[in-house]
């Protein structure tokens, strides 16, 4: 695994640990990579579906149910 890529993605605490990494500390790099591979696509999918639901709701909105906020 290329540790220079993980240095760019990691926070400063983890990045300094990668510079002095031995075989035992390589697990932190794999953990960060795993979190990026799982969490970022999951948040992307959730955002996509929220946008899709909002767009469908706007297309099927009936104006008679709109609130009138006149003062």
What are the structural domain ranges in the chain? 3-61
pTM of the entire structure? Answer: 0.52
Which is more confidently placed, 57 or 26? 57
Tokens of 44: 């992307």
- What is the average pLDDT across 34-52? 94
What rounded mean pLDDT belongs to the chain? 77
Give the pLDDT mean for 10-23. Answer: 61
pLDDT of residue 7: 57
Calpha distance 17→26 (Å, rounded): 9
Cβ neighbours of residue 5 closer than 8 Å, sequence gap 6 or more: none
Distance of alpha carbon 18 from alpha carbon 9, whole angstroms: 11
């Amino acid at each position: 695994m290329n540790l220079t890529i993980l240095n760019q993605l990691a926070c400063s605490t983890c990045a300094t640990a990668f510079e002095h990494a031995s075989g035992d500390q390589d697990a932190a790099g794999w953990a960060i990579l795993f979190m990026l591979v799982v969490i970022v696509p999951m948040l992307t999918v959730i955002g996509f579906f929220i946008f899709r639901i909002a767009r469908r709701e706007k297309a099927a909105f009936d104006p008679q149910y709109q609130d009138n906020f006149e003062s």
